[in-house]
Amino acid sequence: MRSIYSLLLASLLLLSSCSSAEPLLVTKQAFSIDNFKTDNGQIIHPVKVGWEAYGKLNADKSNVILITHFFSGTSHAAGKYHADDAAPGYWDAIIGPGKAIDTNKFYVISVDTLVNANVYDPNVITTGPATINPATGKPWGLSFPVVTVGDFVEVQRHLLDSLGIKKLHAVIGASMGSFQAIEWAVRYPERVERLLPVIGTAYIDAWAAVRLERWAYPIKHDPAWNKGDYYEQGQPRAGLATAVAYITQDALYPSSFNARFPAPATDRAPHNDILAPFSAWQQLMEQAATRASVQDANHILYLIRASQLFRAGMGDNWQAALAKVTAKTLFLPATGDQLLLAEMSKQSVAVMNQDNAAYAEIPGEFGHLDGVLNISAVADKIAAFLR
């Protein structure tokens, strides 16, 4: 069984793409950096990431929109690799010809992050703990440097520089992608004309950091994790699946979760056996295990740490860093988000130049996932913002 997230995404994207007779076909491309220096001063040799593009670059290269992806996502933001693929990319509802992010007008680029969670997906290209360290001929494991959202941005910058792209019409990203989008506008204000953080925030506070640590806990406490040295023996599957289960639950609003999993009252065994699991937990774990089959436990840990460390500017004062943003900005949190609360977006907007910053909410029943699954509800706002 696929994860509840994958099932929901596939069904909604299929519905959203029914009106298009011809799917937008895309090709995964690869980009390499021979020696990449991280924010903490370490060298990764080499870095390789995948990227996709939709639309056509204009003559003066002024029509570029960068899409930065979420925690468990990839650069596959729209379109299909093959016409018979089951579903298009995650934001196909708003990226494509005539859509909110109109590929008849814009050249849209998305890049697989460093330490991408889905390292075993054949359509993902990334460098991280599971990839081979050329100095040893073995997977990097925990010897891989701690990387930050700032490092994700710098890899993207190297790619854009190689393409001769010096200015971005907009940077748009959801969840962890919002962190990257914000960091772009802070680091390179002269290059970013518009900033659109979706289900996002300019900072991670103690509450959010500890909540993310709950995702790391089952991996670190699975004996098979072996302090990150498990590549010869195989993944810590129980810990990884449990982490993915927590991520899935946290991303769904309670009523949406309850509508998709059995209620405790329907289970008889737990009434008589303290060890008997509830059906909802069993189903969630089964789906999480399937989703985890293309993921790597260490990569999840590195993504968690990059997210925990995020604050705009990556310095001591995210408020001061954010106040320097010159890009026209629209924060789009989800009303029912229980993971990155709408209040975090409100607080982020509050410290910006109020002449440039705007705020609106995404309605829906999915909570955090409304930023992906219900993005079409704010398509008109996005289109107007880009105009």
Largest CA distance in the chain: 71
Residue 62: burial class (beta carbons within 10 Å; 0-12, 13-18, 19+): middle
Alpha carbon 182 to chain centroid, angstroms = 14
Q: Are 180 and 68 in contact, with CB atoms under 8 Å apart?
A: yes
Q: Are 367 and 334 in contact, with CB atoms under 8 Å apart?
A: yes
Specify which residues 43 forms β-bridges with.
Answer: 37
DSSP secondary structure code for residue 76 in this structure: -
Collapsed DSSP state (helix, strand, coil) of residue 74 = coil
**61/45 Cα distance (integer angstroms):** 30
Q: How many helical (H) and strand (E) elements, i.e. helices and strands, does the chain have?
A: 12, 14
**70/75 Cα distance (integer angstroms):** 9
Left if phi > 0, otherwise alpha if psi is -120 to 50, otherwise beta: which for 89? beta
Residue with the two structure tokens 């329907």? 266
Residue 282: burial class (beta carbons within 10 Å; 0-12, 13-18, 19+): middle
Torsion of CA 360, 104, 178, 123, to 10 degrees: 140
- Return the closest-CA partner of residue 90 out of 102, 103, 79, 104: 79
Left if phi > 0, otherwise alpha if psi is -120 to 50, otherwise beta: which for 96? left
Q: Which residue numbers are catalytic?
A: 175, 337, 368
- Tokens found for residue 77: 């933001």
**294/316 Cα distance (integer angstroms):** 36
Residue with the two structure tokens 């220096």? 37
Q: Are 68 and 181 in contact, with CB atoms under 8 Å apart?
A: yes
Residue with the two structure tokens 């029914």? 18
